[in-house]
C-alpha cells in the first residue's frame, strides 16, 4: 500500500507521520487489497481536520474528522475507514454467497412533478469535476454511495450498459434514474 500525505496550513512532525503510517498499515490486516491511501491534513478555525481517502481494490473509501489534537482527529478518521473496510469485506463475502436478485427502484411520480413545478433562478456553475464511471450493479452503486457519504452516485449499469444514477430518497430508501 502506498501512503501519501498532503498538508495545508499545518506542519506534520516526523513522529506523528510515523505514528500515522504505522496505524494505516494495520488496516491491511482487515483487507489486504488496499492499493493506496492519501491523508490530507488541514487546520481550520482552531481545529485539525484529517481526511483519509483509500482506494480499496477500485472502491474509494473516505473518512474525515476533526479535533484540536492532530492524533485524535487522525484516530477518529481512521476508525471511519476501518468500519468501511470491514463493511466492504463482509459485503464481498456475502456477495460470493448471494444469488443474483431482481432489483427494482421506483421513482415517486409526485416527487418528479413537485420538482418540475418549482421555478428556480439560473445558477452559476462554480466547480467542475471529472471522474471515471465504473461498471456495477445498482446494489453495488448504493453501497459505494454510502461508503463515500454522498447523496447520489453515477455508474454504468452492469445489466443494461447505460449510465444510471442512484440517489438517497428523503422518505428513506434509494432511487434509480435510468435514461430512456
pLDDT in tens, 158-179: 988 999 999 998 888 999 999 8
Supply the pLDDT for residue 100.
Answer: 46
* Stretches in the chain below the pLDDT threshold 50: 99-100, 102-103
Confidence (pLDDT) at 99: 45
Q: What nine digits make up the cell of 44?
A: 481550520
CA distances from 9 to 13, 41, 42, 64, 145 (A): 13, 8, 6, 17, 30
User: Rounded distance, CA 77 to CA 52, Å?
Assistant: 7
pTM greater than 0.75: no
Largest separation between any pair of C-alpha atoms in the chain: 58
Which residue bears the cell 482506494? 55
- Cβ contact 39:3 at 8 Å: yes
Look at residue 34 in the predicted model and tell me its pLDDT: 81
Long-range contacts of 113-122 (CB under 8 A, 24+ apart): none
CA-wise closest residue to 52 among 89, 29, 84: 84
19, three cell numbers: 505514528
Reduced to 3 states (helix: H, G, I; strand: E, B; else coil), residue 112 is: helix
Would the CA dihedral through 50, 155, 34, 83 be positive or negative? positive
Rounding to the nearest 10 degrees, give the CA dihedral for residues 137, 142, 144, 146. -170
What was the pLDDT predicted at 51? 93
Nearest alpha carbon to residue 39 among 77, 4, 85: 4
Q: How many residues does the chain have?
A: 180
Q: Cell 461498471 maps to which residue?
A: 135
Amino acid at each position: 500500500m502506498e501512503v501519501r500525505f498532503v498538508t495545508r496550513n499545518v506542519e506534520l512532525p516526523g513522529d506523528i507521520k510515523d505514528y500515522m503510517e504505522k496505524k494505516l498499515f494495520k488496516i491491511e490486516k482487515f483487507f489486504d487489497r488496499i492499493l493506496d491511501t492519501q491523508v490530507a491534513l488541514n487546520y481550520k478555525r482552531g481545529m485539525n481536520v484529517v481526511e483519509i481517502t483509500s482506494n480499496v481494490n477500485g472502491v474509494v473509501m473516505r473518512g474525515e474528522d476533526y479535533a484540536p489534537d492532530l492524533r485524535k482527529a487522525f484516530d477518529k478518521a481512521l476508525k471511519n475507514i476501518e468500519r468501511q473496510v470491514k463493511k466492504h469485506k463482509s459485503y464481498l463475502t456475502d456477495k460470493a454467497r448471494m444469488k443474483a436478485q431482481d432489483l427494482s427502484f421506483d421513482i415517486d411520480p409526485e416527487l418528479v412533478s413537485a420538482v418540475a413545478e418549482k421555478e428556480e433562478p439560473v445558477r452559476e456553475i462554480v466547480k467542475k469535476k471529472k471522474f471515471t464511471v465504473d461498471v456495477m450493479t445498482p446494489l453495488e452503486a448504493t453501497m459505494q454511495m454510502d461508503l463515500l457519504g454522498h447523496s447520489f452516485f453515477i455508474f454504468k449499469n452492469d445489466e443494461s450498459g447505460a449510465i444510471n444514477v442512484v440517489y438517497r430518497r428523503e422518505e428513506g430508501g434509494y432511487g434509480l434514474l435510468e435514461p430512456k
